[in-house]
Amino acid sequence: MANPNTALLIIDAQVNMFDPAFAVHDADDILEKLKGLVSLARTSGTQVIFVQHSGPVGAVDEPRAPGWLLHPELSVEEGDLITQKTEFSAFSNAELAPRLRSKGIQKLIIAGMQSELCIASTCQAAVAEGFGVTLVADAHTTYDSETESAPEIIARVNKELKEIATLWRIEEIHP
C-alpha cells in the first residue's frame, strides 16, 4: 500500500451505518476491515481520507447529528483528510479532485458504504477524473434491497467495477 501517490478513501463510515437498529450487512466485520485498512495506510505513510455523506435536515446523517459523525473506532488522526458530500459520489464535492492532485495523488484505494450507491459512483467518478482505482472487494457493504440481498449486491458491484478498477481483497494488501 505504501506509495506517496496513493490515498485510501473510506466512504461513509458514519455512526448511522453501524446503528444496531439499521446496520449495514456484516457491519462488525466491515468495521474491523476498515480499521485494518486505516492502520495499514497510516503505518505505510499512505494518505487517509474519510468521506462523510451530509444528508438533509432531519435525516440521520444531517451534518452534526449523531449519525453523521465518523465511527469513533475510526479515529481521525493528524494528517488525515475529511471531506463531505451531498450526493453519492465523493467527487460531487468539487474540491476533492483538485485537493488530491495538489498532494500528488494519482491512485485511490476505496472501501466503505454503500456498495451500489456511493462506492460505485465514487469509483466511476474517480476513473473519469483520471485516477487509478483499486476497490477493496471485501471491504464495502450495503443493505438488502427489495430484489437483492446485500451479498448479491456486493458481488454484482464487484463484477461491474472490475471493468474499470483493480479489485483487491484484504489479504492481498501489504504495506
> Which position among 118, 153, 154, 161 bears the catalytic label?
118
122's CB contacts (< 8 A; 6+ apart) are 9, 11, 51, 88, 89, 90, 91, 110
Query: In which band, very low, low, confident or very high, does the pLDDT at 147 lie, cut at 50, 70 and 90?
Result: very high
pLDDT of residue 172: 87
List of E strands, the chain: 6-11, 47-53, 81-85, 107-113, 132-141, 166-168
Would you say residue 175 has pLDDT above 60?
no
Residue 118 catalytic? yes
Q: Note the pLDDT tens digit of each residue in 101-126.
A: 999 999 999 999 999 999 999 999 99
Domains in the chain (CATH in brackets) are: 6-172 (3.40.50.850)
Q: Look at residue 74 in the predicted model and tell me its pLDDT.
A: 97
pTM for this entry: 0.96
User: For residue 19, what is its C-alpha cell?
Assistant: 446503528
